[in-house]
Amino acid sequence: MSKLSLILTKDMLQREYVINKKSILTIGKECDCSEGSVWKYLKKYHITTRSKYKYKTPPKKVLYKEYIINKKSTNTIAKEYKCSSDTVYQHLKRYNIKIRNISDSTKKYKSDIQQLSNINYATVYVLGFLCADGCLYKIGNYYGLAVGLKHEKENESLLTYIKQIIHSNNPISYRKPFNKTTNKHYQECRIQIYGLSEKDAILLRKLGIFERKSCKEFMPNLPIKYQFSWLRGFFDGDGWVSIKSKKQSNNYYCSLGFCSGDIKILKQIQNLCFRYGSVSKIRNKNVAYLIMGKKDHIKHIVKLMYANDTFSLKRKKNRFIEHGLL
C-alpha cells in the first residue's frame, strides 16, 4: 500500500472535496502530490467531481485585462481567484484569448546566466551552492533554474546575492511545501529564473549543474585558488558541522560533513581535501555522506574555505569561530 493511499482516503476526500469544497489543486498542495493523483483517487472512490468551469474565474473582459493588458501570469490569476492555473488556461482557450509563449511571459524578468562563466571568488561560491541546492528544469523549448530554501532572513540574503551575481530581477517568492519526514508544512523562499536558452543550459551543465538532482553533478575544473570557494558554496548548500562537548571535560568532539545523492562528487571533494592533508570517509547508503572527524584536519580545511569569503551563511561560519576552528 502506497503512502499516498493512506493520505488520500475516501473519508478524507469526502470531507475536504465534497463538504469543505476545497479544490483539487488545494488538496494536492496540502498532501504534497499532483492534481492528477487527487483526481485519480476521486475517481477510484466514485466521488463525483465538479466541472472545471464551476470554479470562480473572471469573465472574458476581466480575464483579457488581467492576462493581456496587465501581463499577469496564469498562476497569479489562479491565486487571486482561488482556482488552478489549468482552469485559467482552459478559460483562455474557451474565450479565444491568445496565450503567450514562455519568452513573451518572461520578458519583464531578465537574468544573465553567462555571468557564471566569469570565474572569480564570488561566482564560484554561487556555482558550489547551485550544485548543491539548485535545479535546472525544462518547459517546452525553454529552461529555468530554481533554488528553494527554508524561509529565514539569512537565506533570503543568499538568494538576493545569487540574483546580484547573475544580474537577475526575478522576484523571491514564498510557498508552503509539505515535508513528508515531519508530516508538516514549512515556509520556503525561492527564486525561479525563467526563459533560459539552450546556451544557458549548456553552460550550467558544463559547470556541474543539472536537471532535477539527476546525480550527474560534479565539481567543475577550476583554478586551484578558487576550489575552496566553490567548496564553501557547496557546504552552505549541503554541508554541516557537528560539535558536541565531552563529558567531564572542556574538550569537544567535532565533525565536518557533506552529503549528495551521487558519490562521485563526494570523491572529488575527498580528493581535494586529501591533497591538502585532510583525511575523510565516505558512507554510501540511500544518500552518500562524506565525514571528516579529526579536529586539526577540519581546522585546516575550514581556513581554506573561508580564506576568500565573498559571502557565506553566518550561522555555519559562526559555529567554527565559536569553537576556535576559524
What pLDDT is attached to residue 236? 94
Residue 24 β-bridge partners: none
Tell whether 100 and 120 lie within a shared domain. no
CATH number for the domain harbouring residue 156: 3.10.28
pLDDT in tens, 241-300: 888 776 555 666 788 889 888 888 999 999 999 998 888 888 887 678 888 888 888 999
User: In the listed set 212, 238, 256, which residue is the last one of a domain according to the structure?
Assistant: 212
* Domain contains 69: yes
What pLDDT is attached to residue 206? 93
The C-alpha atoms of residue 148 and residue 139 are separated, in whole angstroms, by: 18
Percentage of residues of the chain with pLDDT beyond 90: 26
Higher local confidence (pLDDT), 34 or 160: 160
Q: How far is CA 72 from CA 91, 168, 257, in A?
A: 15, 19, 44
What pLDDT is attached to residue 55? 46
Closest CA to 116 of 190, 200, 193: 200
The C-alpha atoms of residue 156 and residue 269 are separated, in whole angstroms, by: 27
Claim: this prediction has a pTM higher than 0.95: no
* Domain contains 218: no
Q: Which of 172-186, 189-203, 261-275 has the lowest mean pLDDT?
A: 172-186
User: In the listed set 40, 73, 104, which residue is the last one of a domain according to the structure?
Assistant: 104
The C-alpha atoms of residue 16 and residue 37 are separated, in whole angstroms, by: 15
**How many domains, in total, are found in the chain?**
3
What pLDDT is attached to residue 100? 74
What pLDDT is attached to residue 234? 94
Question: Strands (DSSP E) along 178-296, which ranges?
Answer: 178-179, 184-185, 188-196, 239-245, 252-260, 281-284, 288-292
* Domain contains 258: yes
CATH number for the domain harbouring residue 315: 3.10.28.10
Tell whether 146 and 185 lie within a shared domain. yes
Tell whether 92 and 157 lie within a shared domain. no
| Strands 142-150 and 172-175, sheet pairing | unpaired
The C-alpha atoms of residue 165 and residue 125 are separated, in whole angstroms, by: 10
Q: Is pLDDT of 103 > 60?
A: no
The C-alpha atoms of residue 23 and residue 36 are separated, in whole angstroms, by: 12
What is the side-by-side strand order in the sheet with 142-150? 134-139, 142-150, 188-196, 172-175
Tell whether 100 and 127 lie within a shared domain. no
Higher local confidence (pLDDT), 148 or 86: 148
Closest CA to 213 of 195, 237, 236, 241: 237
What pLDDT is attached to residue 54? 46
* Domain contains 197: yes
User: In the listed set 164, 187, 212, which residue is the last one of a domain according to the structure?
Assistant: 212
> Highest mean pLDDT range out of 76-90, 114-128, 202-216?
114-128
Domain that holds residue 318: 225-322
